[in-house]
Amino acid sequence: MSLEAWDAILVGSGAGGGPLSLSLAEAGLRVLVLEKGPRIAREDYRPDEIEVAHNGLFWPTLEEDPHTVVTRRTTEPTRTQLGWIASCVGGGTVHMGSFLYRFLPDDFRMRSRFGPYAELADWPYPYEELEPYYLRAEREVGVAGEAGVSPFEGPRSGPYPLPPLDSHPLAESLHQICHDRGLHPFPTPRGINSRPYGGRPACAYCQVCTGYGCRVGAKGSSQEALLPRAEATGRCEIRAGCMVRRITLGRDGRARGCLYTDPEGREIEVRARIVCICCSAVESARLLLLSSGPLFPDGIGNDYGLVGRHLQFHGVTMGEGLLPMGLDPSLAGYPNNFLGTSVLDHYLLPEGVSDLPKGGVLRFDLSEPTPVGAAQLLASEGEDLLWGMDLKLALRRRYREHRAIHLEVFHDFLPNRHTRVTLDPEIVDRWGLPVARIHLDLPSHHRVAGQWLLDRGLEVLDSLGAVDVRATTLGGTSSYLVHGTCRAGHNPRSSVIDSDCRVHGVPNLYVVDGSFMPTSGGAAPTLTILANSFRTADRILERGRRGELPEPG
């Protein structure tokens, strides 16, 4: 029986798969997108903390499809959702906060800039190479921002396509305080429509954004901004609920296609001229490792044992303060929690703070009204558990007498030899396949840099009049900002894929998601993943024009 044949198979539909699907389908290629998770309708997104946290709206359950994690201290692997970005059409872009910062030029040359520290490496291309694709990504998904305000941003060849989102009146005071402290605040770039754009509506300012799907479609997710346009070409088909079990190879060592299990449990093999793995850093590495065979006994692309190495999350440090309602009349009931303010001044740390003088981005917003999470934190963060009247008073204080202001610090997660992905030798998923085991280690720089950056942010909150300013997370690990595992580079002995995201030694197999990133960058990475995917699509199409794409095997 002849196998179904496509020009391109994409495994995954998020920040990696979305741009590829659009670019390749618009250029005339027939594209099949295989997505493990379901397709959730826009109207089914609700501000429902329980559905998101417990009922597996975006993530698989620990029973059916976990990751496992081990650290230096743990002897037994623990089931975890760490490293799951999402499992649904649109991937993690569906629930992202959509903080679409560009990286700075130094992020692309960490080894050259800072020397041989930890396992830092330079990227195989510089900022200038990605800049046109940053601009394209901003235009394709619709980023609201203002260029040229921060003197620290990298060079740009064009403005943001949308003006900044409206902000809460308090943002004016916040900006003034930042200026008084010698800082340079700028509007946080958000992939959210500040005006109707791309056939999608403007933001409704519903206050429930990060961690949730957008009910009005204003967030520029892959599901909203990219995949429908790819499908509209008539050349892209998205199959949800399809679990890719392995990449199949021809006798010549090229990728032939893949084998997947459909929602009815049937195993189906499809073939294509090129295959792109876009299922997030942890799952993409896992799929390469699961695809071992006679040609690649340790997994595809793993001749030098590098697949899964250099796993990075993102350094996450957060703080909070309480603004007394009497501070500003707009605090009570103003229907907008965006302060939309970021500060890049501390992207580099002063000498003496840490061995590595690399800082990050401070972001300020009013806290989203997620009462379950906030109350659970209040109940458990102290030495003693809070319940009964003590907890009721704490809740009234937070919600009735104050409005919470949130500080988030994005900073680098350093690649290190202990943090990586392997196949778990014991635990399997509901398809009977070994799950990904995450080996996690946190270099001390994360806490040191996080503490210094946190202190700078809390100083701002303090000046604004906030009380109870405190850290809520210090040097933590972002569960769903995941990178590394298939490091891109020029040398096959020190990288898994080349500068065009092709697996070394398998010229028609690509890995196109956060896996390619040699270092994590000091800002949220989603725009960089989108931009790199647009760049990779261009490289694929150039090869096609040169007649270098093989016929389906």
Name the site residues for another protein (rule: CB under 8 A): 46-51, 54, 196, 199-204, 206-208, 215-216, 218, 332-335, 337, 369-372, 375-376, 379-380, 385-389, 391, 395-396, 399-400
Nearest-approach distance from CB 18 to another protein, in angstroms: 22
Distance (Å, whole) CA 435 – CA 31: 28
Nearest-approach distance from CB 469 to another protein, in angstroms: 21
Distance (Å, whole) CA 231 – CA 297: 37
Q: Look up residue 307 and give its amino acid.
A: V
Of the pair 69, 307, the CB lying nearest another protein is at: 69
Residue 123 Cα to chain centre, angstroms: 18
Distance (Å, whole) CA 395 – CA 403: 11
Contact between 510 and 18 (Cβ < 8 Å):
no
Nearest-approach distance from CB 399 to another protein, in angstroms: 4
Q: How far apart, in Å, are the Cα atoms of 145 and each of 129, 158, 223, 225, 534?
A: 22, 12, 21, 17, 20
Of the pair 60, 124, the CB lying nearest another protein is at: 60
Contact between 90 and 38 (Cβ < 8 Å):
no
Nearest-approach distance from CB 200 to another protein, in angstroms: 7
3-state secondary structure of 480: coil
Token readout for 114 is: 């800072």
Q: Using DSSP bridges, classify how beta strands 255-261 and 420-428 pair: parallel, antiparallel or unpaired.
A: unpaired
Q: Which of 495, 442, 411, 415 is nearest to 116 (CA)?
A: 415
Distance (Å, whole) CA 297 – CA 295: 6
Of the pair 426, 551, the CB lying nearest another protein is at: 426
Which runs of consecutive H residues, i.e. helices, occur in 436-546? 444-464, 526-545
Helix (H) or strand (E) holding 70: strand 67-71
Distance (Å, whole) CA 313 – CA 521: 10
Nearest-approach distance from CB 191 to another protein, in angstroms: 16
Nearest-approach distance from CB 537 to another protein, in angstroms: 28
Of the pair 201, 305, the CB lying nearest another protein is at: 201
Of the pair 214, 454, the CB lying nearest another protein is at: 214
Nearest-approach distance from CB 372 to another protein, in angstroms: 5
Of the pair 27, 62, the CB lying nearest another protein is at: 62
Sign of CA dihedral 189, 486, 441, 15: positive
Of the pair 59, 108, the CB lying nearest another protein is at: 59
Nearest-approach distance from CB 214 to another protein, in angstroms: 8
Of the pair 69, 238, the CB lying nearest another protein is at: 69
Nearest-approach distance from CB 277 to another protein, in angstroms: 32
Of the pair 28, 371, the CB lying nearest another protein is at: 371
Of the pair 30, 79, the CB lying nearest another protein is at: 79
Distance (Å, whole) CA 550 – CA 298: 25
User: Angle CA(544)–CA(102)–CA(205) in degrees, nearest 5?
Assistant: 110
What do you get for the CA distance between the two ends of the chain, in Å? 14
Nearest-approach distance from CB 50 to another protein, in angstroms: 4
Token readout for 23 is: 């670019």
Of the pair 78, 463, the CB lying nearest another protein is at: 78
Q: What angle do the packed helices 127-141 and 526-545 form, to 10 degrees? A: 100
Determine whether 108 is exposed, middle or buried from the number of CB atoms within 10 Å of its CB (0-12, 13-18, 19+). buried
Nearest-approach distance from CB 544 to another protein, in angstroms: 36
Distance (Å, whole) CA 461 – CA 324: 12
Nearest-approach distance from CB 56 to another protein, in angstroms: 10
Of the pair 386, 427, the CB lying nearest another protein is at: 386
Count Cβ neighbours within 10 Å for each residue of 524-550 and write b for 16 or more, e otherwise: bbbbbbbbbbbbbbbebbebbeeeebb
Of the pair 193, 519, the CB lying nearest another protein is at: 193
Nearest-approach distance from CB 95 to another protein, in angstroms: 15
Neighbour tally for 202: CB within 10 Å: 17
Q: Which of 162, 256, 281 is nearest to 218 (CA)?
A: 162
Q: How far apart, in Å, are the Cα atoms of 31 and each of 145, 383, 540?
A: 32, 54, 13
Of the pair 23, 370, the CB lying nearest another protein is at: 370
Nearest-approach distance from CB 385 to another protein, in angstroms: 6
